[in-house]
Amino acid sequence: MVCCKITQVSTEIGRRTVIKQHLVKEFLMRSRSLASLQKILVLIAIVGLPWIVFVNVSFGQERKIDSMFLDLDKKYRIPEEWTTLPFELEDPYKRVKNGPPLANVINKANVEWISRWIANPKKVVSNAKMPNLGLDFEEIKSVIVFLSSLKEKEVPQISWDAFLLKKEDDLSEDEYDKMDKIYNNGKGVWGRARCTICHPIKGVGGNVGVGPDLGEITTKINRNWLYDWLGNTKTHFPDTMMAQFRFTDSDLRGIVEFVMRDTQFVPEEKEEEEEGEAKEPKAAEPEVQILTEKEFNNIRKDTALLEKGRDVVEKARCFVCHDIKGISELMPVVEKKREGLAGFEKLLYEIRCLSCHRIQNKGGTYAPNLTITGSKIHMGWEKEFLQAPDIIRPLSQQMPKFNLIEEDAKAAVEYIEKNLHTKEALPNPFEGGAPPADVVAAGEKLFYEKGCNTCHAEGTKGGGVVGPNLQTVGDRLQPAYMFYHLKNPQQANPQAVEPNFGLSDDELKSLVGFLADHVQKKEGNK
């Protein structure tokens, strides 16, 4: 954080210096004669320093530093006109309902958890948005019976090894070793898929802010449902923000075991009172009556309870936040038809790329904007990256590994190359070939003179970790984009913390030449 602040300060100082230089130059050009200059100097001497300060402040108020800086050299701006896309993008953040759909909820959560949740949501999850409806036990039972009638599909009954269903204390040494092997495999899948990008655990993680907290999932989720959900997210909820990963059966079994058993997911027990600390005795909370699985099986086909539950749900206006097909006449649910999706459009829908990325004016802001990716990235590198994402920004967001097949990656690259670029092509400073050796050498010298290695590493050569690793940046970025990005980083990315050094075109060309020379060789990294 300190490094970022220092970088931002140095960036601002650099901007001010360039601006002052430009203004002085402009002022002197307009002062055509020495006589005019002398008059101005006399006027300044008469008015004094306060006037200078006032003019400076007023000027700063009229024109912000950023806008003034951008006005200095408009010809280097990235064109803002984009290509027209062949289909309409679906913005995943424009969801009408605040709560999840209730179809198949009886398959997802166990009955005991549902009864506790309806009785007092905030007691189950402290920051729960669902209100306490004040229902009695008979009403709660009826609601659960009604919810069970909404079930549209049966959850596949997965054959689990018997020892996985035991408590850890009941495991033999051999069984524990077997469980541990499955658990470690799941831990690896969790890490590779980078699940913590979307999902916090007890408030930690979940930078995107679209996934639920998994801190108490072990008390809620049906093991078979979790397996089926991770393998077929779209069949459960077509509009889910959850991406469709290509997990194998072994991956699914491993991650289910990791989630269901890992102690970090189990709710923490409340700390006991410290010795010698006198506290007011807490008022005893009324005991909540819980519907057990056995009791539920005895009443689940009771039509009278079902109708009563429907009535309770209607009166409680549950449909305001939830899709409830059983009472669709009150709040019609319009389903989007997605049959026939193919190519990149299908991939956008399944993987939910726009949950993190942005294309034109739709999507998230967590990951890089993809609007002009075709003008920015080498497509050969992009195709390989989509199939096996590597760590580019050590301290920032990382792309999950979706296990995309080559056909999916090819479709994405073809779409990007054809549609996601600027209408006006960015000129390549090395049109016709690789950068000459003398240009590369000059760029390398400039790279270290400007202290670029403070934020960027070069593979094994060391360097900073604030910015992307530049080991194979020549494989990744097109020289034309690098030139325009370095000319004005804040124009290419308004949130960029990279300093603008005010480099000349020749200096920029040499620096880009040095970076473009960083390519992946067949025999290994350069």
pLDDT digits (tens, 9 = 90+) for 406-425: 999 999 999 999 999 887 77
pLDDT of residue 17: 44
Does residue 282 surpass a pLDDT of 60? Answer: no
Q: What SS3 class is residue 221?
A: strand
Token pair in block for residue 75: 């010809």
Euclidean distance between CA atoms 509 and 494, whole angstroms: 23
Closest by CA position to 81, among listed 422, 441, 484: 422
CB-neighbour burial class of residue 175 (10 A; exposed 0-12, middle 13-18, buried 19+): middle
- Who wins on pLDDT, 27 or 388? 388
Q: What is the mean pLDDT of residues 451-463?
A: 83
Euclidean distance between CA atoms 369 and 496, whole angstroms: 12
pLDDT of residue 153: 79
Tell me how long the chain is. 526
Q: What SS3 class is residue 445?
A: helix
The pLDDT-based confidence of 99 (bands split at 50, 70, 90) is confident
Euclidean distance between CA atoms 56 and 60, whole angstroms: 6
Cβ proximity of 324 and 313 under 8 Å: yes
Extended beta strands in 294-393, E state: 358-359, 362-363
- Sign of the C-alpha dihedral computed for residues 355, 224, 203 and 168 taken in this order: negative
Q: First CA to last CA across the chain, in angstroms? A: 31
User: Average pLDDT, whole number, for the chain?
Assistant: 77
Cβ proximity of 213 and 201 under 8 Å: yes
The pLDDT-based confidence of 139 (bands split at 50, 70, 90) is very high
Q: What is the mean pLDDT of residues 32-39?
A: 43
Largest CA distance in the chain: 103
301-310 per-position pLDDT tens digit = 999 999 999 9
Closest by CA position to 120, among listed 314, 313, 290, 318: 290
Euclidean distance between CA atoms 375 and 423, whole angstroms: 10
Residue type, 36: S
The residue written with tokens 């679906």 in the block is 90
Residue type, 284: A
pLDDT of residue 69: 38
**What residue ranges define each of the domains in the chain, with the CATH number in brackets?**
2-76 (no CATH), 105-267+290-327 (no CATH), 437-525 (1.10.760.10)
The pLDDT-based confidence of 336 (bands split at 50, 70, 90) is low
pLDDT of residue 499: 85
Model-level pTM greater than 0.85? no
Count Cβ atoms below 10 Å from residue 133 Cβ, excluding itself.
18
Euclidean distance between CA atoms 141 and 290, whole angstroms: 9
The lowest-confidence range among 330-339, 410-419, 440-449, 450-459 is 330-339
pLDDT of residue 467: 85
Write the CB contacts of 368 (distance below 8 Å, at least 6 apart in sequence): 357
Phi-psi region at 422: left, alpha or beta (left = phi > 0; alpha = psi -120 to 50): beta
Percentage with pLDDT > 70 across the chain: 74
The pLDDT-based confidence of 515 (bands split at 50, 70, 90) is very high
Euclidean distance between CA atoms 401 and 386, whole angstroms: 8
Phi, psi at residue 45, to the nearest 5°?
-65, -35
Write the CB contacts of 469 (distance below 8 Å, at least 6 apart in sequence): 391, 392, 393, 394, 456, 457, 458, 459
